[in-house]
Structure 1
């Protein structure tokens, strides 16, 4: 966990960052054809075998980047600048999560594939140095595809760390009051969808129908302007029916950076008031800032309204025009195997989620994956976040008084 940054320098940095959006992402997104994996992942044992494999391949790739000097890493990431401290902190966090996840995936693995006896991080790193898949192995085709995937994915992550370490949710949180999926238990995942709702009979309708058919309850981070447009076309009753059984959270009134916007708080509160007015039972007091861009003190500002910040740690990249539904599905499945928990980011304004989500649900139906019910489990996380917020506010007030 990164410590909170000094506010004034950070806010100045945010202004220069504001035009970034999705444009700073690497040219080559991490994609993989999961058909190269020679087994199903339809049981807990099969999930763990595939999970161990992806963890080992990512760890091997991560270890190799440590041999690069700053100039070589800048060249690899395609950046002119490099926040070396941030990169090292991200690597440290990755190692901690990889070791934890590998141990979780290796319980009772015995002589099954990719099962190494690991006692410490040092031993883990040592064994990764010699990890390889032989050409005669049934996993060889997967190993080639997986290595390429994890090299690209690690480039994505390190590039964000190199350029924008303090305000991208996949890299760092300002403090523990911000939710991003790391707080979930092993094999727990939350489906979330940004930017809706769409026009009647659009992708939002299709996704909510898919979720209801499968008995799942996801969180929709809506834009206030899109919701108002939908309400203008249909009745409140019809929109309530659209989200029946699901949770509605906040993405602001407009899809723009809430780090540089002077009126950002009104954007959140205006959207919150609209949702609570027409569908209070579906309202979940969470705010996901567009692009993950938010001010360092956003959580303190929102705390009096009972609103917590909710980010993500598994990005489907379904907004990208190069990403098909199949590619988004395979990317998410691979990251589920790697991180073993998390909040998955889709966008209901794009058609990719409609194609990817049903297959993800089907693949993970019997392998121990638990899709978080937004009404129950997430409220528990939110309660913990509020306790952290209260403690932070108390500490801040005490420090201000002492100074």
Structure 2
């Protein structure tokens, strides 16, 4: 009976996720200015905040049935959806306050917003008077944010039956919200690749750029890599966390504890100088009762809030454009790329070139990893 029930629960979980992933980006050429100064970063940021606020407001007008239909689900967890919406509004308000600081330099999208209520009101009527210079951006931006919001609300609607990065399970988990304004952390998952692959090229590129990031490695892939030769040089100057022994959900896997132990031991043995005590759960899925074990291993869950979606059909440039749009929206956060795939490096190259003069900063991996 227990086996049958477990199988049924698994099938229901799969059914809830049956709809295909919606990979969505935004063509940054539709924005008429380069983000090549701190003030112009703020202009674009204010615009994205208000555009997203508009679709967030629109989603609150949907009743439960309409929301269920829109997200393509049989049922939704309204409590989590409302909590995620509330947290999004709080982040938008904090972000807009930061973005307003340069209004004396450039007043575009600077409105008399002095409270959360003002922001909600302004967002609800946004796009009525943006001017002809920005008119070609308005509707494509609205479409992008509508699809991006659906992506996030769908994860919220399934939580905690299907856990994801959209919500924390406890205050001990990390995400990008604790960073300072304009600060971003680079993280990479799914590696390492075999020698000479995209993991090597990306790590070397970061060293040339005098940047660092956290590479969340899979234990079995690191084992295969070390069996073929030394691995110490691969992640020199970078940080290494763990993603488990295999790339599979750690929420229902009976061997999840052993997965963490084995991968942690492998990294600590092979890469002691690069190791940081962080676990990036594949698909963002982890157990609600796993905090005690995590503490015993001196590990913390490290989530992300800006997903490049470079593991799908988006081109490298489209993936980077998605990341930049979300950087403008949230103004801080943890970015996730896949170093196991070749698109990550050209996407990162485009992103660095496009933000070189924007006044943003890159969080040090060591400082973040041991904080």
- TM class by shorter-chain length? over 0.9
**C-alpha distance after superposition, 1:150-201 (max 9, x if no partner):** 0000010111111234654432101111001111111111111111000111
1:367 deviation in Å? Answer: 1.8
Residue 122 of structure 1 aligns to a residue whose secondary structure is helix
Q: Quick one: distance in 1 between partners of 2:163 and 2:133? A: 38
From the superposition, tell whether residues 337 and 137 of structure 1 become closer, same or farther in structure 2 (CA, over 3 Å).
Answer: same
Q: Alignment partner of 1:244: what SS?
A: coil
Residue 273 of structure 1 is aligned with which of 253, 265, 270? 265
> Structure 2 unaligned runs (5+)?
1-5
Provide the C-alpha distance between the structure 1 equivalents of 2:357 and 2:309, rounded to a whole number of angstroms.
Answer: 26
Query: Which residue of 239, 243, 257 maps to 2:249?
Result: 257
Which residues in structure 2 correspond to 1:177-216 (within 5 Å)?
177-216=172-211
Q: Secondary structure at the match of 2:337?
A: strand
Match of residue 80, structure 1, among 49, 74, 79: 74
Structure-1 residue corresponding to 2:328? 337
Whether the 8 Å CA contact 1:372–1:378 is kept in 2: the answer is: no
Larger mean CA deviation between 36-45 and 102-111 belongs to: 102-111
Q: CA deviation at 1:77?
A: 1.2
Match 1:284 to one of 276, 290, 300? 276
Instruction: Answer yes or no: is the 8 Å Cα contact 2:13–2:162 preserved in 1.
Output: no
State how far apart, in whole Å, the 2-side matches of 1:359 and 1:103 are: 28
Structure 1's 198 and 139: CA in aligned 2 closer, same or farther, altered over 3 A? same
Shift of 1:135: 8.2
In structure 1, what is the equivalent of residue 50 of structure 2?
A: 56
In structure 2, the partner of 1:360 is 351
Q: 1:23: Cα distance to partner?
A: 5.3
Which TM-score applies when normalising by structure 1?
A: 0.86
Q: Secondary structure at the match of 1:29?
A: coil
Superposition pairs of residues 40-189 of structure 1, within 5 angstroms: 40-110=34-104, 112-132=107-127, 137-165=132-160, 168-189=163-184
Cα distance in 2 between the residues matched to 1:165 and 1:116 = 38
Looking at structure 2, the residues matched to 361 and 330 of structure 1 have their Cα atoms a distance apart, in angstroms, of 11
- Report what 1:302 is aligned to: 294
> In the alignment, what sits opposite 2:362?
371
Once the two structures are TM-superposed, the CA of residue 293 in structure 1 deviates from its matched residue by 1.0
User: Where does the alignment leave 5 or more consecutive residues of structure 1 unmatched?
Assistant: 1-11, 381-403
Cα distance between partner residues in 2 of 1:97 and 1:64: 17
The alignment of Structure 1 onto Structure 2 pairs a total of residues equal to 365
Conserved in 2, the CA contact under 8 Å of 1:14 and 1:260? Answer: no
Q: CA offsets per residue over residues 217-248 of structure 1, 9 Å max, x none? A: 100000011111111222x2xx1111100111
1:52-78, Cα deviation, whole Å (9 max, x unpaired): 000000000110111111111112111
TM-superposed deviation, 1:113: 0.6
Aligned-partner SS, 2:101: coil
Structure 1 residue 366: deviation in Å? 2.7
CA contact (8 A) 2:155 2:164 kept: no
Match of residue 317, structure 2, among 326, 329, 333: 326
Q: CA RMSD in A?
A: 2.2
